[in-house]
Amino acid sequence: MITDPVIRNEWYPVAISAFVEKGQERQTMLLGEDIRVYLGANGPAVEKTDGTQLAVKLAYGHVWASLGTPGELFAIPEATQPGRRLVDVGAVRVKCSPLRAVENFLDIAHFPFVHTDVLGAEPHTEVYRYQVEIRDEVDEVWATKIKFYQPQAAKSAEGGIETDYQYRVPAPTCAVLYKTCPPRPSEMDVIGIFVQPLTEELCDAWPWMALFDDESSMADMIQFQQMIFLQDRSILENQLPRKLPLDPGLEIPTRADMTSIAYRRWLKKRGFTYGAQLVAA
């Protein structure tokens, strides 16, 4: 059992709230412990096998739980912005560290090679210089001023465009992407990945979106995002070491890895080590 309060006191996604509210139970795990997500007398509830009730919060279409004493969950203001469609994509199980799953979401350089002719394409493979910072006032990692050519930036996109990106890491196992919205160039689409750490080397990734898209069906938007993540899964499951190295000397970074470097440094600063490799094997 994990006793480290830094790890236990975080919020983690464990189910889609709409499914639980319809009475669908979910037997799952959190940080190596078996839990049950179910509809209680006052709404969705989560308990351990011994009946211990966990702290629960409903946000962004998901049930969130904590094994400890959590603080406030990070805010995504766009979730309440009029006109946005909120898309709960569902879980994708991946045999990798939960931190590897977040890091992959932050990686731009793999787009032309893994998401060919959708999020990237040759010869448009260069990652131009961008800015990364750890914002101490909010304790988050931000990457800004990112531009990348994409043949199909979203389900609603028609033809290739140069896409503006901003990445935000508000919690160790969650990341949020803000990117050009093809139907509304003055707005940004919001795509989140909320990762549930089942164990240190197994996780459920819950993609979520807040989009301006009046044309695509909900099924098509879900299918598009699932296709993207399933393309990532084979890469993630073959990465070695399986845990995310926090020592910069364990893997050789490039300029394209600036966000990853900041993310690892931030995890180390926070003392969040679940799914991390601290020393060379």
Mean pLDDT of 45-74: 98
Mean pLDDT of the chain: 86
The dotted CATH code for 5-66 is: 2.20.25.680
**CA–CA gap between residue 122 and residue 17 (Å, rounded):** 40
Q: Is 6 exposed, middle or buried (0-12, 13-18, 19+ CB in 10 A)?
A: middle
| Class of the CATH domain delimited by 81-277 | alpha beta
Contacts for 266 with CB less than 8 Å, ≥ 6 apart: 134, 141, 169
Banded pLDDT at 25 (limits 50, 70, 90): very high
DSSP state, 77?
G
**CA–CA gap between residue 215 and residue 95 (Å, rounded):** 35
- Is 183's pLDDT higher than 50? yes
pLDDT of 67: 98
pLDDT of 165: 85
Residue 273 neighbours by CB distance under 10 Å: 20
Mean pLDDT of 63-75: 98
Domain range annotation of the chain: 5-66, 81-277
**CA nearest to 106, candidates 19, 17, 184, 170:** 170
In the block, tokens 């890091």 appear at 103
**CA–CA gap between residue 16 and residue 64 (Å, rounded):** 9
Sequential DSSP letters for 208-250: EEEE--SSS-HHHHHHHHHHHHHHHHHHHTT-SSSSEE-SGGG
Pairing of strands 276-277, 244-245: parallel
